[in-house]
């Protein structure tokens, strides 16, 4: 039976700024059964693919990325904002609505030729996950797919990821 994930997501209007309907996953995370089911649904489409490692951007990509990695029997690579990792890093900068941001991961986190699954809580415009994908591909990794808990279809983020295997559990 399919779980009713949608009713477990709290919508907070006008947060973090006016006009935004923020999708709050903390209400899903506190329910052990729903959390377990969501991780399984995020991992399931990639079980038969050869995934060497799961990569997730901070902070909510960590929440789902680590258990998805465990479900797939792989390791996890964190992607952090600039200046948060202690060893030598690779980075990519990308455009935000107002300005730019930079993401980093350890340069030895992924080896050339490894197949990676990118995991995050939300696909909105696709900017963050596109930057993560670019960083992985620059190292020589192959993208096995992308998995999200929530997709905001009206923001057309999927268009930036055209040609990729994409899984999203809840679509708004």
Q: Which of 13, 33, 97, 159 is catalytic?
A: 97
Token duo for residue 78: 């964190």
Q: Mark whether 10 is an active-site residue.
A: no
Q: Mark whether 111 is an active-site residue.
A: no
> At which residue do the structure tokens 């905001």 appear?
152
Q: Which of 60, 80, 104, 158 is catalytic?
A: 60
Token duo for residue 82: 């600039």
CA angle centred on 103, ends 68 and 128, rounded to 5°: 65
Distance of CA 172 to the CA centre of its chain: 17
Alpha-helical (H) ranges within 97-163 are 127-139, 157-160
Active site residues: 60, 97
């Amino acid at each position: 039976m399919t779980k009713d994930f949608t009713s477990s997501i709290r919508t907070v209007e006008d947060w973090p700024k006016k006009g935004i309907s923020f999708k709050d996953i903390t209400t899903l995370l506190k329910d052990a059964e729903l959390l377990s089911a969501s991780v399984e649904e995020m991992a399931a489409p990639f079980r038969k693919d050869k995934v060497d490692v799961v990569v997730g951007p901070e902070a909510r990509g960590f929440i789902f990325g680590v258990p998805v990695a465990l479900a797939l029997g792989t390791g996890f690579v964190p992607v952090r904002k600039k200046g948060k990792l202690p060893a030598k890093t690779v980075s990519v900068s990308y455009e935000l609505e107002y300005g730019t941001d930079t993401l980093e991961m350890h340069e030895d986190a992924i080896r050339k030729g490894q197949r990676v699954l990118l995991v995050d809580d939300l696909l909105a415009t696709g900017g963050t996950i596109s930057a993560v994908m670019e960083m992985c591909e620059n190292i020589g990794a192959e993208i096995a797919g992308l998995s999200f808990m929530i997709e905001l279809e009206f923001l057309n983020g999927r268009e930036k990821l055209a040609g990729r295997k994409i899984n999203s559990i809840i679509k708004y």
